[in-house]
Amino acid sequence: DDLGAFSALQGAFVEHQVMLQKLSLKRKIVVVLVRTLEDLNLCDALIIPGGESTTMAVLARVSGLLEPLREFVKTKPVWGTCAGAILLSQTIEGSKKGGQELLGGISITTARNGWGSQVESFEVDLSVEGLQNPEEFFTGIFIRAPVVLKLSPSPDDPPIQVIARLPTDFLPPSLASLDENDPKTVVALRQGLHFLTTFHPELTQDNRFHDYFVRECVLPRTA
């Protein structure tokens, strides 16, 4: 049996659990809610859900999971959605030293709540490379989402593969002049074993992102 797993310290983890359980795969995956080091040690891969990244980091620290999670990220597949995407960032802009703690893993800089208070939440149809039925749009649900500011892989890092961008004709007014290749339009990306969406696929009825993560990032490593 393969183990799929994700962090249940805080945030939208039940929705991820439901999505994973609905996947039709030839091999069975077992979903573990991670609250302790013992739980984490059972896992071959991790999903870090949406929620509040600061709270999640504090809870990880007090439950003794912060360093083990950092080690986990170094060698195993991890997908971060929204707050989880913030935690997987190498750097976040505007955070004071000693403020938000991160896990790192993806060589990008992000800004928390980067769309501004005028555009707290929005939905937009995304075309996404590599999903099943790629001609079907995926509904991106953004809730106080982070914005990717910079992609900065060093020569030794795996390359960053952009999986989805916000269509420029949709961009919020504050960003309307963005070039379509601007990193701020990036809403899903992959770097090596790591995968990031600034929106919430688990809040839709569409499990194609879960399918992608399990098939592309997790199963090939646990064969």
Query: For helices 53-62 and 66-75, what crossing angle results, to 10°?
Result: 110
Q: Which of 16, 43, 194, 200 is catalytic?
A: 200
Amino acid at position 210, single letter:
H
82 scored as a contact of ligand GLN (CB under 6 A): yes
34 scored as a contact of ligand GLN (CB under 6 A): no
113 scored as a contact of ligand GLN (CB under 6 A): yes
List, in order, residues 6 or more apart from 157 with CB less than 8 Å away: 107, 191, 192
Amino acid at position 97, single letter:
K
Which one of 31, 43, 60, 83 is in contact with ligand GLN (CB under 6 A)? 83
CB 81 within 8 A of CB 213: no
Which one of 86, 131, 187, 196 is in contact with ligand GLN (CB under 6 A)? 86
CA–CA separation, 198 and 138 (whole Å): 13
114 scored as a contact of ligand GLN (CB under 6 A): no
Q: Which residues are annotated as part of the binding site for L-glutamine?
A: 51-53, 112, 143-144
As given in the structure block, the two tokens for residue 59 are 């809870």
Q: Give catalytic residues, as residue numbers.
A: 82, 200, 202
Name the residues that contact ligand GLN, by CB under 6 A.
Answer: 50-53, 82-83, 86, 112-113, 143-144
